Structure 1
Amino acid sequence: MKTTMKLLGLAFMTLSLTLTSCGKDGDDGLDGAMGPAGAQGIAGQDGTNGTNGEDGEDGNANVKTIKIDASAWEGSFESVDVSEITQPVLDNDAILAYMLSQNSFYYAMPGTVDGGVYNTRPYYKVGKFYVNFNNLDGTNYSISAGDIVEVKLIIIESTESSTSSKSGKSNARSQLLNAGVDVNDYHAVMDYYGLNH
């Protein structure tokens, strides 16, 4: 019986070898059709995804900057035509004024200039910008040509639809103050609104 089992085992092995080695090598068959493309992977940097930032507050895109050449101004009073100063602007919007002096400093108007040498007092009416120059005691101060290089007016449209002029103007100023912007600092205001200096 042991011999029979051995013979059957050998016969089975021989049959297996014969079946696997039988036949001649054939040509490879044609490749199958291309499968569907896989889903797009998630893009990342260095194998990781960044986190989304928080949305910023909505800004006020309705900010105008008006540049006035003041290099020839002389005396204690100036008047300039400014068509952008309309009745709706006077009623609702905030107007900030800054002057660039010959020493390359911007000063807020109204305000004291050159460490207390004189004061500026701006006034607005439809189509006009006025400015008085006064000594600290209130008497007229006379500037010379070239003392002031330019004046920039920044008109900030109110974001509040209100017919109350105080409400609209205070809204524009409040927006700056709430954001920690010093309205007397020309560069801070320009940076806040993303305007060119």
Structure 2
Amino acid sequence: MKTTMTIIKCTLMTIAIACTSCSKDGDIGPIGPQGEQGIQGEQGPAGEDGEALGIPGPQGETGATGATGPAGEDGTNGADGEDGNANVSTFTYDLSTESGATIAITATALTQDVVENDLILGYLLKNEDTYTPIPSSIYAFGLNDNSDIAIEIQLNRYWMFFYEVGTENFKSVTAGQLDELKLVIIESNSTTSGKSSKEDILSKMKSDGVNTDDYYAVMDYFDLNF
């Protein structure tokens, strides 16, 4: 009996050992050893970027500079200005239609600075080629037709007053008796700067032998056209 129990006990232990080698899900047989991990395949090339993210192409070469176009035509020359040099100007005014005992010429060249500082010489044209300086004690319009002429210079105005010779009585002139007025403005520097004034210029011209009553001598002195 004892031998029988021992056989049964051994049998049960064998069964128990066998059962411990079974899986939970009832698979039979022991789990085999884990196989080696296979070699990872090479990574394929990346796909091409879309158009929006495309790789910029190489920068092209700078194009050659275009040829310079031909120069434009010169513009039309402007009208000649008044005669003058660096510091002398001349202005001409038509008097052929002027009449009366008092004649006022509008002269915009007579600015306040010019009136106060510059030397202003006036000449009346007679017989188309003779310039007589004014003011004048006796101005001959013709045979036995003389006048005294006084002047007054103001801002933008050059006044001429005609009198009977030797009196203070006005004497009217008629249209056509006068031809033209020529003004010569000789610039002088302001006396406040300690430089030459119009009186100094007049004195210098006389010391150089220039007769300021002679229009042509004045023009020659400043190398100006008549």
What TM-score, normalized to structure 1?
Answer: 0.63
The 5-angstrom pairing of residues 4-83 of structure 1 reads: 61-83=86-108
Residue equivalent to 2:219: 190
Rate the CA distance shift 1:193–1:169 in 2: closer, same or farther, 3 A: same
Aligned partners of 2:151 and 2:185: how far apart in 1?
A: 14
Which of 72, 81, 90 is the matching residue for 2:115?
A: 90
Report the Cα distance in structure 1 between the residues aligned to 2:225 and 2:118, rounded to whole angstroms: 21
Q: 1:178 to 1:123 in 2, by over 3 A?
A: same
1:175 and 1:68 map into 2 onto residues whose CA distance is 28
1-structure distance, mates of 2:92, 2:126: 14
Matched, 1:176 2:205: yes
CA distance in 2, matches of 1:100, 1:153: 11
Contact 1:93 1:172 in 2 (8 A): no
Matched, 1:148 2:174: no
Q: Deviations over 1:72-110 (max 9, x none)?
A: 111111111111101111111110000012474211000
Higher relative contact order (CA 8 A, sep 6+): 1
Unpaired segments ≥5 residues, structure 2: 1-84
The one-letter code matched in structure 2 to 1:85 is L
Match of 1:122 in 2: 151
Question: 1:163, 1:81 → 2: CA distance?
Answer: 29
Q: Provide the identity percentage.
A: 36
- Tell me which structure has the larger Cα radius of gyration: 2
8 Å CA contact retained: 2:128, 2:179: no
CA distance in 1, matches of 2:129, 2:98: 16
Cα distance in 2 for residues equivalent to 1:103 and 1:117:
18
Question: 1:149, 1:174 → 2: CA distance?
Answer: 30
Report the 3-state secondary structure (helix = DSSP H, G, I; strand = E; otherwise coil) of the residue aligned with 2:132.
strand
Residue 133 of structure 2 corresponds to residue 108 of structure 1: yes
CA distance in 2, matches of 1:67, 1:173: 21
Q: Are 1:157 and 2:187 an aligned pair?
A: yes
Alignment partner of 1:135 out of 164, 173, 179 = 164
1:102, 1:146 within 8 Å by CA — same for their partners in 2?
Answer: no
Aligned length: 135
Unaligned residue ranges in structure 1 (runs of 5+): 1-59
Which portions of structure 1, spanning 4 or more consecutive aligned residues, are displaced by more than 3 angstroms?
none
Distance 1:196 1:100 in 2: 15
RMSD between aligned residues:
2.0
TM-score, reference length from structure 2? 0.56
Structure 2 CA distance for partners of 1:61 and 1:179, relative to 1, 3 Å: farther
Specify the code of the residue in structure 1 equivalent to 2:155. V
Partner of 2:197, secondary structure, is: helix
Looking at structure 2, the residues matched to 161 and 169 of structure 1 have their Cα atoms a distance apart, in angstroms, of 9
